[in-house]
A and B are shown apart, each in its own frame.
Chain A
Amino acid sequence: QQQVKQSPQSLIVQKGGIPIINCAYENTAFDYFPWYQQFPGKGPALLIAIRPDVSEKKEGRFTISFNKSAKQFSLHIMDSQPGDSATYFCAASIPLYSGAGSYQLTFGKGTKLSVIP
Chain B
Amino acid sequence: DGGITQSPKYLFRKEGQNVTLSCEQNLNHDAMYWYRQDPGQGLRLIYYSQIVNDFQKGDIAEGYSVSREKKESFPLTVTSAQKNPTAFYLCASSIEGAGANVLTFGAGSRLTVL
Contact = CB atoms under 8 A, between A and B. Distances in A.
Interface residues of A, number: 26
Contact of B43 (A32, A93, A101, A107): A107
B105 A45 contact: yes
Interface residues of B, number: 27
Interface in B80-94: 90, 92, 94
A31 B100 CA distance: 8
A92 to B, nearest CB: 10
A49 B31 CA distance: 20
Interface stretch (A11-19, A36-44, A53-61, A70-78): A36-44
A46 interface: yes
Nearest to B91: A43
Interface of A: 6, 9, 31-32, 34, 36, 41-46, 49, 51, 89, 93, 96, 101-105, 107-110
26 contacts: A6-B42, A9-B40, A34-B100, A34-B102, A42-B107, A42-B108, A43-B4, A43-B6, A43-B90, A43-B92, A43-B105, A43-B106, A43-B108, A44-B90, A44-B105, A45-B105, A89-B42, A89-B43, A93-B101, A96-B50, A102-B31, A104-B45, A107-B42, A109-B40, A109-B41, A110-B42
